[in-house]
């Protein structure tokens, strides 16, 4: 056998396999452009969760329970809770007393007091980790919504918040959370009522399609979007529509009495009998 | 004392001549600059992530410099047979070990000084603040920690056959303590007896290198560490370094040189 033959055969096999691999790679359209996807593969999603927690640790100025300490009972980060409620969160989690002298001594050398970022501009420090979490796992929704909240509420960077939310929406076109946050941005920051209404209504439609049939749906997100939409309609004088949204909100709200008061006020404005 | 100082000076000069430090320093500068050049929401004043990355690199490089520099000292002297004329002179084995220890510790200290100056510059370029005392405290604690690592590695270089195996074992041990040391007591408490007592005893016996890690405090702009705590940490580090050096001397004093 001519010695060139096996070499030619090996070359042909390599070319065929390479071509096949290239076609296979091109057929996988999602995420292949990211450096992290290339380097870490699917394991980057696990890193994304850690990086997101890192942002929460920055929110607490470095003080954060480790995996060996208590995990948050509801699985949500403090930073995300503040984003949801717009109020500084309460801490019911007791801090452990020191177990031994090494722990007592060690507390002098790392952040061991529960404090939040205080100064207005300090909020920007959590953003790199949220950005990285989104890069690592573009299908994780919370880095987009949390970062957008801090960008528009605390840093007055509305355009950047919108761009980041749109980036999130491209990766998660069915996310009612991102649409809800985008609607809030249009309503509160850009005062673009028609756009805000359209986006919020789309968010509600997406929520109903994805969550309504679930045994334990994400009612908090639904209530937030409904509340925002109702307030938007009320502020623009569409009292009928506001009333309809508040009525839907009452069914899922954790504080139905408060919602009922708003309904009563609206009905009084409309001059309708109760 | 003069003998120890002369031996230490040789080690420092050797590190200055070698390229290890320069490569690691340039790598740190490049990686920090790359991280700093990322555009994050058009905000150029975000600094803490950069501090974190820079300090992480400094800690990794510090460990690498301390361990590789120390691990090769005695094997290199043996290999080149320079240990024979050295110990034939009026130099005791204890002085030889102390000279090597102080040389490696000083050399890592010089490297740390440059690293922390770079860190200060990076931080000031965005933060526009110079908390010099905080940086000094962090660098001092870092240097103390490396003192324990140097002493431990020196012991390893007598016990283990090759510098590579010693270096690997020391690096894994130091990294393991830095990551898990703080949490071993919590793990111990979740175990049943007698494992609980065994692990707790191990936790107390371990040199807690993580105690010297004040990165969290300088990243998040916390207040100064109390000076009495710094003094206690210094004592703690000195005790462990002395223990490892004494153990190294005990092993080395009767060991044949060839």
pLDDT higher than 60, residue A147 = yes
pTM tops 0.90, yes or no: no
pLDDT higher than 90, residue A20 = no
CA B118 to centroid of chain Cα atoms: 18
Mutate to test the interface with A, among B49, B190, B197, B231 (most CBs of A within 10 A): B49
Separation of alpha carbons A268 and A262, rounded Å = 10
Under the banding of pLDDT at 50, 70 and 90, the label for residue A27 is low
DSSP letter (8 states) at residue A90: P
Closest-CA distance, A251 to chain B, in angstroms, reads: 39
Average pLDDT over residues B233-244: 95
Inter-chain residue contact A102 with B43, CB threshold 8 Å:
no
Tell me the per-residue pLDDT of A81-114, one tens digit each, with 9 for 90 and over.
656 554 445 454 555 677 888 888 888 888 877 7
Tell me the per-residue pLDDT of A152-187, one tens digit each, with 9 for 90 and over.
888 888 999 999 999 999 989 989 999 999 999 998
**pLDDT of B238:** 95
Q: Where are the domains of chain B?
A: 2-252
Average pLDDT over residues B141-147: 95
Separation of alpha carbons A263 and A214, rounded Å = 28
CB B82 within 8 A of CB B11: no
**pLDDT of A92:** 47
Separation of alpha carbons A208 and B92, rounded Å = 82
**pLDDT of B174:** 93
Longest pairwise C-alpha distance within chain B: 66
Q: Which residues of B touch A129 (CB under 8 A)?
A: 49
Average pLDDT over residues A57-69: 80
Please provide the DSSP assignment of A163-205 as one string: HHHHHHHHH-TT-HHHHHHHHHIIIIIS--HHHHHHHHHHHHH
Inter-chain residue contact B185 with A164, CB threshold 8 Å:
no
Helices marked H in A60-126 — which ranges? 78-85, 101-106
Closest-CA distance, B242 to chain A, in angstroms, reads: 19
This complex has an ipTM of: 0.79
Inter-chain residue contact B204 with A155, CB threshold 8 Å:
no
Under the banding of pLDDT at 50, 70 and 90, the label for residue B116 is very high
pLDDT higher than 60, residue B188 = yes
Q: What is the 3-state secondary structure (H, E, C) of chain B?
A: CHHHHHHHHHHHHHHHHCCHHHHHHHHHHHHHHHHHCCCCCCCCCCCHHHHHHHHHHHHHHHHHHHHHHHHCHHHHHHHCCCHHHHHHCCCCHHHHHHHHHHHHHHHHHHHHHHHHHHHHHHHHHHHCCCCHHHHHHHHHHHHHHHHHHHHHHHHHHHHCCCHHHHHHHHHHHHHHHHHHHHHHHHHHHCCCCCHHHHHHHHHHHCCCHHHHCCHHHHHCCCCCCCHHHHHHHHHHHHHHHHHHHHHHHHHHHCCCCC
**pLDDT of A192:** 86
Inter-chain residue contact B42 with A157, CB threshold 8 Å:
yes
User: Is the Cα dihedral B1, B7, B13, B15 positive or negative?
Assistant: negative
């Amino acid at each position: 056998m001519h010695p060139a033959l096996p070499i030619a055969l090996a070359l042909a096999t390599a070319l065929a396999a390479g071509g096949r691999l290239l076609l296979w790679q091109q057929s996988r359209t999602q995420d292949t452009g990211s450096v992290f996807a290339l380097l870490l593969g699917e394991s980057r999603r696990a890193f994304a969760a850690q990086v997101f927690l890192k942002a929460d640790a920055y929110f607490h100025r470095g003080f954060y329970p480790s995996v060996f300490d208590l995990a948050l009972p509801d699985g949500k980060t403090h930073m995300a809770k503040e984003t949801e409620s717009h109020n500084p969160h309460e801490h019911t989690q007791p801090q452990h007393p020191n177990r031994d002298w090494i722990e007592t001594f060690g507390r002098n050398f790392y952040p061991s007091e529960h404090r939040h970022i205080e100064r207005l501009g300090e909020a920007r420090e959590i953003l790199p980790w949220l950005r990285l979490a989104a890069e690592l796992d573009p299908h994780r929704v919370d880095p987009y919504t949390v970062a957008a909240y801090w960008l528009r509420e605390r840093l007055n960077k509305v355009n950047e918040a919108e761009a980041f939310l749109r980036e999130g929406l491209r990766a998660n076109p069915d996310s009612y959370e991102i649409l809800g946050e985008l609607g809030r941005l249009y309503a509160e920051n850009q005062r673009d009522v028609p756009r805000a209404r359209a986006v919020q209504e789309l968010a509600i439609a997406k929520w109903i399609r994805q969550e309504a049939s679930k045994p334990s749906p994400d009612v908090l997100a639904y209530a937030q979007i409904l509340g925002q939409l109702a307030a938007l309609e009320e502020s623009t004088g569409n009292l009928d529509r506001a009333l309809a949204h508040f009525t839907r909100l009452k069914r899922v709200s954790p504080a139905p009495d408060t919602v009922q008061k708003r309904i009563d006020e609206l009905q009084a404005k409309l001059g309708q009998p109760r | 004392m003069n003998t120890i100082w002369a031996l230490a000076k040789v080690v420092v000069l050797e590190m200055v001549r070698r390229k290890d430090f320069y490569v690691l320093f340039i790598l740190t500068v490049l990686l920090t600059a790359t991280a700093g050049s990322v555009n994050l929401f058009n905000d150029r004043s975000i600094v803490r992530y950069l501090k974190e990355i820079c300090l992480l690199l400094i800690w990794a490089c510090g460990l690498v410099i301390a361990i590789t520099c120390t691990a090769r000292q005695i094997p290199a002297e043996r290999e080149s047979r320079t240990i024979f004329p050295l110990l034939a002179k009026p130099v005791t084995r204890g002085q030889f070990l102390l000279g090597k220890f102080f040389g490696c510790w000083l050399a890592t200290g010089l490297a740390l000084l440059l690293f922390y100056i770079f860190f200060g510059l990076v931080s000031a370029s965005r933060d526009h603040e110079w908390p010099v005392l905080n940086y000094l405290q962090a660098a001092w604690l870092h240097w103390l920690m490396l003192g324990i690592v140097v002493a431990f590695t020196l012991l390893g270089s007598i016990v283990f056959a090759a510098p590579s195996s010693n270096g690997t074992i020391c690096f894994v041990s130091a990294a393991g303590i830095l990551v898990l040391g703080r949490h071993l007591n919590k793990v111990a408490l979740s175990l049943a007896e007698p494992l609980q007592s065994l692990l707790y005893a191990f936790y107390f016996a371990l040199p807690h290198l993580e105690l010297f890690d004040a990165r969290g405090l300088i990243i998040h702009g916390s207040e100064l560490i109390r000076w009495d705590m710094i003094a206690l940490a210094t004592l703690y580090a000195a005790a462990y370094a002395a223990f490892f050096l004494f153990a190294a001397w005990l092993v080395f004093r009767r060991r044949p040189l060839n």
